[in-house]
Amino acid sequence: MFKFVFASVLAASVLVFVSCSNDWIDTPQPQLEKPASLAISNSSGSKAYGAYIAGRVAHLRKDFNTASDYYIKSLEKDPTGNKELVSRLYLLLVSEGRIEEAAKYAQIAQKNGDKNNFIDVIVNVENIKKRRYKDVYDNTHKLKNPIYDEFINPLIVAWAYAGDNKKTEALKMLDTLNKEPSFKALYHFQAGMINDYFNDTPAAQKHYEVIVNDEQLDMSFRALQIICNFYIRTDQKDKAIALVSRYSDEKLLGDMLDKLTQNVKNAHVNNTKPILTDPNIGLAESLFSIAATLHQGDAGIDLAHMFISMSIYANPNYDLAKLMLADILESRDMYTAANEVYDSIPKESETYYSVQLKKANNYITMEDYEAAEILLKSMAYDVETYQVYLDLADVLRMQKKNEEAIKYYKQALKKLDPKDETQWPLYYALGIAYEQDGQWNKAEKSFKKALVLSQNHYLVLNYLGYTWIKQNKNIDQAFMMIVSAYNQSPNDGNVMDSLGLALYKLGYYGMAINYLEKAAQTEPSNAIISDHLGDAYWFGKRKNEARFQWKHALTMKDSTGELDISLVKDKLANGLSKAPELSYNKEIIEEQIKLINKD
């Protein structure tokens, strides 16, 4: 529990890192994404000011690398320029992994009066990278803060001592971690790695096996990699196989564990090289642990971003750190930058295929479906897995290539355990593809399978109920399904639309307008909802508003292909002459209306 509280304290005390004041309690947390407006005027020189403005534009666009370049140009043109800009600059440089430059500007900021303790962390990382270990010891003594003393310094400085061939001092630095029960796994992992680095096999094994044998301790995937590597190198491959076989982590990307398991089984003592060949690799592990602790809370994302970038600087081949960096970039909606990180991960990495899936998902988020399709099809040649087939089918369906999508959904089905109830989304997506391809009987069968497996998930209830309502069939059952979907997810705009459409077709125009207006507020760019609202307004005797909504529907992009443009134009010209006529049980419908969640 203390570790999570500690992460919160680190995030809350971010000013220990980024403030220009020692009084961190009252100073607001800066954000990498939102640059402060700094006091730089055109009087500083047109070139300096122009570079600064260009930097601000890039900064606001979350292009931190370009922003840094322009800020540097601004300061080069005006060396006596704004001190706060220097303080902001080194943070941006750290986030971009440009640590050598960050250390330079951080020290300039320090001379300008910036008392930010994070400066000394940056400088220490740079000193260890350049093997200036004495400078690390001298610099560390300047830091007086419990967060550094109890967590950050032990993890960083221990590897300076290791690089300086001072094993005893390195291990002693970790003692403070051993005093806190929540850091037990972290302490033994770090102590194990330091002993492993010094080829002290018995001591390394003793620490590693505290983590292996204590089921109460979490073992990270990186710890699994390093401990398995240790077992193989020390001719204990059976232990490595046993360990990787029983490891489980629900947050782990699917293919990573399979690849590691395969690598462990194929490994041989004579051709397995140690991972910990350099103190900077150990330093990268420490920085990763700090970043992971900070990343547990949303408030620490800026700091996590900077620490994980320093981790990659220390060990440019650290794929798991790159995975965390990409995850942070995705959380900032920086999908192109995240994909550039994924591109730096080699094919032999245990993370490779998993990150290719994440890269494809980023393309989808950016609506670059063609790029996602190309990537996923190339993967399908190499790895015939359920997830690759499913993601590829989804991308094809998004592009209205339903016939081809169905083919890959079926390929995914072949990889699926028929008893696996967690995979209902496959049947749901297959049903959509069949429906959009005009194969309704097969679609209906898939939706019903998805309903059973999902235990009546609102998405499936809504889609099947909505489709039946559009087809004017199974009205009583369809309405019950839509009401159930609405009660499960009353804030979903598409579900509101389904309920509004159903009530409209049943003749309850006032209620229909109420739900369709809510749907339109929730999904203001949805052409179908505007069209439905226009229909309800027409028979609700609000004809001017009806025409407005129909016109509005024509101005919007319809990604579903459902909007009949010619019909909407006809409604604008001639209105609606005949109300929908459905065959239904009024008693059942009105009982269902009473069950609608009115909150």
Q: What is the pLDDT of residues 234-264, one digit of tens each?
A: 999 999 999 999 887 665 666 788 899 999 9
Confidence at residue 15, expressed as pLDDT on a 0 to 100 scale? 38
Mean pLDDT within 339-365: 94
DSSP conformation class of 299: G
Residue 129 has pLDDT above 50, yes or no: yes
* pLDDT of 28 higher than 50: no
For residues 158 and 290, is the Cβ–Cβ distance under 8 A? no
* Cβ(149)–Cβ(16) below 8 Å: no
Q: What angle do CA 432, 528, 394 make, to 5 degrees?
A: 25
Q: Which two tokens stand for residue 111?
A: 């001379």
* Average of per-residue pLDDT across 361-374: 96
3-class DSSP assignment, residue 474: coil
Q: What mean pLDDT comes out for the span 574-581?
A: 90
What is the percentage of the chain residues whose pLDDT exceeds 70? 89
Asked whether residue 21 carries a pLDDT value surpassing 80, the answer given is no
pLDDT tens digit string along 76-92? 887 666 788 898 899 99
Fold of 456-595: 1.25.40
Q: What pLDDT does 298 receive?
A: 61
Give the residue carrying structure tokens 């310094």.
Answer: 153
Q: How confident is the model at residue 36 (pLDDT cuts 50, 70, 90)?
A: low
Distance between CA atoms of 561 and 569, rounded to whole angstroms? Answer: 16
Q: How far apart are CA 133 and CA 163, in angstroms?
A: 7
Kindly tell me if the per-residue pLDDT of 451 is higher than 80. yes
- The Cα 466–Cα 497 span in angstroms is 9
Closest CA to 478 of 334, 583, 343: 583
State the average pLDDT over residues 414-418: 81
Predicted confidence band at 61 (pLDDT cuts at 50, 70, 90)?
Answer: confident
Q: What is the pLDDT of residue 383?
A: 83
Across the chain, mean pLDDT equals 88
d(Cα 309, Cα 466) in Å, to the nearest integer?
A: 48
Give yes or no for residue 43 having a pLDDT over 80.
no
Q: Exposure string (b/e) for 424-440, b if CB count within 10 Å is 16 or more? A: bbbbbbbbbbbbbbebe
Residue 203 has pLDDT above 90, yes or no: yes
Residues 508/539, Cβ–Cβ less than 8 Å: no
Quote the CA–CA distance of 470 and 76 in Å, as a whole number.
Answer: 66
The Cα 81–Cα 85 span in angstroms is 8
Cβ(90)–Cβ(111) under 8 Å? no
Three-class secondary structure of residue 138 per DSSP: helix
pTM for the model stands at: 0.84
CA distance 85 to 41: 13
Assess whether pLDDT exceeds 80 at residue 215: yes
Contact 229, 274 (CB under 8 A): yes
Instruction: Please tell me which residue, 515 or 249, carries the higher pLDDT value.
Output: 515
Flag whether pLDDT at 13 surpasses 60.
Answer: no
274 CA to centre of own chain: 31
Angle between helices 201-213 and 221-233 in degrees, nearest 10: 140
The CA distance from 64 to 48, in Å, is 18
Q: Which residues contact 78 (CB under 8 A, 6 or more apart)?
A: 44, 45, 48
Which distant-in-sequence residues (6+ apart) come within 8 Å of 523 by Cβ?
493, 494, 497, 529
In the chain, the amino acid numbered 93 is L
The region of weakest confidence among 42-56, 389-403, 488-502, 504-518 is 42-56
Give residue 79's identity as a one-letter amino acid code.
Answer: P
Which CATH superfamily includes the segment(s) 2-141? Tetratricopeptide repeat domain (1.25.40.10)
Rounded average pLDDT over 502-518: 96
158 CB-near residues (< 8 Å, 6+ apart) = 170, 171, 173, 174, 190, 194, 282, 286
Overall fold of domain 176-365: 1.25.40
**What value does the mean pLDDT take over residues 317-325?**
96
Is residue 274 within 8 A of residue 281, CB to CB? The reply is no
Q: CA angle 467-468-473, nearest 5°?
A: 155
The size of the chain, in residues, is 599
pLDDT at residue 559, as a whole number: 80
Burial of 92 (0-12, 13-18, 19+ CB in 10 A): buried
Q: Where are the domains of the chain?
A: 2-141, 176-365, 369-449, 456-595
pLDDT reported for residue 140:
73
Q: Tell me how far apart the alpha carbons of residues 500 and 363 are, in angstroms, rounded to a whole number.
A: 34
Mark out the alpha helices in 332-471 (DSSP H runs).
335-343, 352-365, 369-382, 386-398, 402-414, 424-436, 440-454, 458-471
- Determine the average pLDDT of the residues in 471-493: 96
Give the residue-averaged pLDDT of 435-446: 95
Supply 268's token pair: 């041989």
pLDDT band per the 50, 70, 90 thresholds, residue 50: confident
3-state secondary structure of 189: helix
Q: Would you place residue 296 in the very low, low, confident or very high pLDDT band (cuts 50, 70, 90)?
A: confident
Q: Which of 2-6, 392-396, 545-549 has the lowest mean pLDDT?
A: 2-6
Q: Tell the burial category of 418 from Cβ atoms under 10 Å away from its Cβ (0-12, 13-18, 19+).
A: exposed
Name the pLDDT band for 423 (thresholds 50, 70, 90): confident
CA atoms of 353 and 342, how far apart (whole Å): 10
Between 216 and 1, name the one with better pLDDT. Answer: 216
The larger pLDDT score, comparing residue 189 to residue 52, is at 189
Q: Is 331 exposed, middle or buried (0-12, 13-18, 19+ CB in 10 A)?
A: middle
Q: What is the dihedral of CA 330, 334, 340, 346, to 10 degrees?
A: 0
Distance (Å, rounded) from C-alpha 324 to C-alpha 309? 9
Which tops the pLDDT comparison, 278 or 139? 278
Same CATH topology for 176-365 and 456-595? yes
More confident residue, 281 or 114: 281
The CATH code of domain 369-449 reads: 1.25.40.10
Q: What is the pLDDT of residue 297?
A: 64
